[in-house]
Amino acid sequence: MGLFSGKKGLVLGVANDWSIGWAISRFILEQGGEIGFTHLPDKPDDDKQKNRRRVEKCIQGFPGAKFLVPLDVQDDQQIRDVMKTTAEHFGKIDFLLHSIAYADRSDLQNETIETSREGFKMAMDISVYSLLAVCREARPVLNDHASILTMTYFGGEKIVPRYNVMGICKAALEAAMRYLAFELGPRKIRVNALSAGPIKTLAGSAAGVNDMMVLYEGMSPLGRNVTHDEVGRTGAFLLSDMSSGITAEVLHIDGGYNAMGAPGRLLDHFVPKAAVAKA
């Protein structure tokens, strides 16, 4: 018996095998869970269906992967269609993973103050409002005591240069998560957010993840970066019955980086130890 034996759920936002959403999903599948997946819709003229094929490559060989359908979270009808498909396959579900965020690359590369109005609205719509829209339409298919998880980052709490408009989105996402936790609480449905340290993903490449990984390795108490497997296990924990008393929380998995108030051991690279001791 695995941790997720008999459990069914929906995962939104896997892009490829480097996605945090896939790291979480893979652990759940290995632990006996059943999952329906969505993928970013392919363009009508894309005969190769690149978005769909990337996710198909991930889930092939996993009998617990029950369906794969396109989803544009800016389209309410598509969200309803996904929930209808979910009900047809599973009836009710025990967990929902929201692993969706987007901002235009030009807005990420510019200073936050230069964010375009349209770019801001799109980033907030996809990265934040989608959680509200998805949870609203998912209510009929969610079992009581179900668990919902979304993905955030420390840039929503503190200034992280180059994260820019996405930091604003993550701050709003965390607030949305807390309000959802309150409103769904009477049904004992839990809503949490997982804040992972920098990890190599398709989205992370646009936010300077390689530079951040060097910083985290130097500053975090563990002196290293977290792995896909560690993030996957932690995310699965929050979607499992093991975390039944946790809701409205942001759980950090970053080697302790978020707890640091000074550069820590990274300071040794810039200031001689004798000078630090004397000070």
Any idea which residues carry the catalytic annotation? 153, 163
Q: Are 151 and 196 in contact (CB under 8 A)?
A: yes
Distance CA 203, CA 106 (A): 14
Strands (E), 99-225: 142-152, 190-196
Q: How far apart are CA 10 and CA 140, in angstroms?
A: 13
CA atoms within 13 A on the CB side of 156: 24
CB atoms under 10 Å from CB of 3, counted, come to 18
- Among 172, 191, 70, which residue's Cα sits nearest to residue 121? 172
Question: Which amino acid is located at 127 in the chain?
Answer: S
CA–CA separation, 177 and 190 (whole Å): 10
Q: Which one-letter amino acid corresponds to residue 53?
A: R
